[in-house]
With several copies, the nearest count.
Chain A
Amino acid sequence: MPMKEAIEKLVHDDELVFFGGFGNGMTFSAAHEIIRQNKRNLKVTKCGGGIMFDQLIGAGVTNHIVTSHCWNGTGPQPAYNLRRSMEEGIPQKIIYNEQSLFMINMSFFAGYMGIPFVPIRSVVGTGIYDHPKEVGLKAARVKCPFTGEEICVVPAINPDVGVIQVQRADSEGNAQMWGLIGDTKYGINACKKIIVATEEIVDKKVIMESPERTIIGAHKVDAVVHEPWGAHPSSMQGFYYTDLEYRFKYAKETKIIEDWENWLEKWVTGVENRQGYLKVLGDKKINKLKAKPIIQGAVNYGY
């Protein structure tokens, strides 16, 4: 199914949307299609929002982000659309429901496990624990019935819809990822509707060659999108490296609003789909980013 169709069918205004990938395997292609379809009032969640959330904020598709940071392209600087939104209300004021990295991971884990909360030994005493009071996903404390200690607990997050970008999946949706996964397995399994975008569609037999790499089963996948290079400008282990130059330039190219509008037109609204985006990126860059093969990790599965 093309990404366009998957987003049309499965992502609707006002929903809470999960995006997979932590640094590696980020679902940029899906985020851009959501912008092109001009969704509104989405809540969006991701362990580290980064420039993907900066773009969703700048394009006005989200008014509420649930994440642990919204950095710029290559370092711990605030991204400019985030700042414009929160400091000046451009294009709209959003709610930044700030989490800590491990707190949001545990919330996804609780969603994954089908339990309403999980304890975590951090957050108490910080502003993250106290703010923002009005928007739901706030930690609390309970008394441990075994040790008597008061401990922080974080609530489950079960997004309405989620999307991930993986290295390979079969046509039914059994999807595999290796390398840096971050929160992807727990987050996507916590979702009610699921889109799997994949670098490659492979035969089921390939999936069965290393079944520990499967992060989600076909029985709950609603759409499989064959989307090579869907994670650019992030990396995809075994496929392509992070486009550091592009990310570095992003900060400069989005610092003032006119430049941001040009950036959005050039890379998102001015192209039809990921194939169009890759044309703008150009073959030279694509060849430069392609991963050199390091084929390894076979073991004996015999019995």
Chain B
Amino acid sequence: MGIEEEKYCTEYTGFEMMLVSACRQIKNDDIVFNAFHWPFLAVHMAKLLHCPDLFAVLEVGQFQDELPRPIKMPYSISDPVLVPNSLFVGDSIDALSILQRGEITIALLSTSMVDKYGNCNTTVVGPYEEPIYRLPGGGGATEIAGMAKRLIWLIDDHIKRRLPEKLDFITDPGYLEGFNSRIKAGYPPDTGPEVIVTPFCIMKFDPESKEAYLDALHPNISIEQVKENTGWELKIAKEVKQIDPPTLKEIEVCRQTMRDAIDQYFILKPEWTTYL
């Protein structure tokens, strides 16, 4: 192997690839809404990798541009460790004001199910009043999805029921029924889902119809594999891009981040998806 190739990692999981791929979406000058669960990990990694100055806003009204020292993964948005390590602590309305004023340039959200228009369901499988599975509810994701400029969905398992054609319930708005329906519902025109990141691939959204299509493949994944495991007739980009594997540095940071998260009781085996 050449030197160039050596800097890439060769053994890693789909979950790790998803985190690395999501983390690469963040830029150093972004103002990121740092939401709980997988996004916490991706934002943490970005901070350690290529975004040392990243300005993060959290749901209970915190600003951060530094990680707590010694580095500690907050167990949630409401971890008290965040307070003496923040530049601002307010209340939830302060956090909402930042969203509604359009100051959040990027947000990542992990979710149970995303449909082809980038809508998300964390509420219910089956009818709302007579649920087959009652999910926990969305928290602040509704507003984050509604008002962040670039929204990145994370789905940690690329299977049909996580990526259905249509949802039983929209908890967080994507492009609703596609085309201009999101704008008609009153959401700011410069907002909306930009990509869906899964262990298999990155999907983007057609500028016209707002339907998600396959844009780029993670290494060693085939177009067929993606299509077979997606809940709708997935459209494919004319030229499907190939995503680089994690670099050695990326995977090192990723795994340390996951260990830090385990220490804080993050549920890394997402067993709850088996309910779905």
How many angstroms between the C-alpha atoms of A6 and B101 in the bound complex?
24
Whether A100 contacts B142 by the Cβ 8 Å rule is yes
Given contacts A77-B267, A183-B91, A219-B103, contact A68 B138 (CB under 8 A): yes
Write 15 A-B pairs (CB below 8 A) sorted by A numbering. A76-B136, A86-B131, A87-B131, A100-B138, A101-B59, A103-B142, A106-B96, A127-B169, A132-B129, A185-B91, A214-B90, A217-B88, A219-B63, A237-B80, A244-B264
How many angstroms between the C-alpha atoms of A78 and B273 in the bound complex?
10
Shortest CB–CB separation between residue B235 and chain A, in angstroms? Answer: 23
Shortest CB–CB separation between residue B83 and chain A, in angstroms? Answer: 4
Q: Is B92 an interface residue (CB 8 A)?
A: yes
Residue among B84, B99, B102 with max Cβ neighbours from chain A (10 Å)? B84
Contact of A183 among B55, B92, B188 (CB under 8 A): B92
Whether B185 contacts A125 by the Cβ 8 Å rule is yes
> Which of A35-43, A111-119, A222-230 sits within the interface?
A111-119
Question: B132 contacts which chain A residues (CB < 8 A)?
Answer: 87
Question: A112 contacts which chain B residues (CB < 8 A)?
Answer: 97, 101
Residue of B nearest to A21 (CB): B78
How many angstroms between the C-alpha atoms of A183 and B92 in the bound complex?
6
How many angstroms between the C-alpha atoms of A183 and B60 in the bound complex?
9
Residue among B31, B89, B99, B123 with max Cβ neighbours from chain A (10 Å)? B89
Whether B87 contacts A76 by the Cβ 8 Å rule is no
Residues of A within 8 A of B (CB): 22-24, 47-49, 67-72, 74-79, 82-83, 86-87, 96, 98, 100-103, 105-106, 109, 112-115, 120-128, 131-132, 149-152, 170, 174, 178-186, 189, 204, 207-209, 211-212, 214, 217-220, 234-237, 241-242, 244-245, 247-248, 291, 294, 296, 301, 303
Residue of B nearest to A216 (CB): B88
Residue of B nearest to A103 (CB): B142
Shortest CB–CB separation between residue B47 and chain A, in angstroms? Answer: 15
Contact of B31 among A83, A126, A219 (CB under 8 A): A219
Residues of B within 8 A of A (CB): 31, 36-37, 55, 59-60, 62-63, 65-66, 75-93, 95-97, 99-103, 110, 121-123, 128-129, 131-143, 146-147, 169-173, 176, 181-182, 185-188, 264-267, 272, 275
Contact of B266 among A75, A101, A106, A180 (CB under 8 A): A75
Q: Which 5 A-B pairs give the minimum distances between C-beta atoms?
A: A23-B78, A114-B100, A100-B142, A101-B140, A69-B137
Question: A70 contacts which chain B residues (CB < 8 A)?
Answer: 136-137
Question: A121 contacts which chain B residues (CB < 8 A)?
Answer: 100, 143, 146-147, 186-188
Shortest CB–CB separation between residue B259 and chain A, in angstroms? Answer: 15
Question: A103 contacts which chain B residues (CB < 8 A)?
Answer: 142-143
Question: A212 contacts which chain B residues (CB < 8 A)?
Answer: 88-90
Shortest CB–CB separation between residue B61 and chain A, in angstroms? Answer: 8
How many angstroms between the C-alpha atoms of A22 and B122 in the bound complex?
20
How many angstroms between the C-alpha atoms of A253 and B215 in the bound complex?
43
Question: B137 contacts which chain A residues (CB < 8 A)?
Answer: 49, 67-71, 96, 98
Given contacts A125-B182, A174-B87, contact A105 B92 (CB under 8 A): yes
Contact of B37 among A75, A83, A184 (CB under 8 A): A75
How many angstroms between the C-alpha atoms of A130 and B133 in the bound complex?
19
Question: B266 contacts which chain A residues (CB < 8 A)?
Answer: 74-75
Beyond A76-B37, A220-B103, 4 additional contacts (C-beta under 8 Å) are A82-B134, A124-B185, A219-B63, A303-B81
Given contacts A74-B265, A244-B265, contact A179 B89 (CB under 8 A): yes
Contact of B55 among A101, A204, A217, A241 (CB under 8 A): A217
Whether A102 contacts B99 by the Cβ 8 Å rule is yes
Shortest CB–CB separation between residue A59 and chain B, in angstroms? Answer: 18
Residue of B nearest to A26 (CB): B78
How many angstroms between the C-alpha atoms of A115 and B188 in the bound complex?
12
Shortest CB–CB separation between residue A279 and chain B, in angstroms? Answer: 25
Contact of B92 among A24, A79, A182 (CB under 8 A): A182
Shortest CB–CB separation between residue A177 and chain B, in angstroms? Answer: 10
Contact of A22 among B78, B143, B182, B186 (CB under 8 A): B78
Given contacts A121-B188, A211-B88, contact A248 B265 (CB under 8 A): yes
Residue of B nearest to A79 (CB): B136
How many angstroms between the C-alpha atoms of A183 and B93 in the bound complex?
8
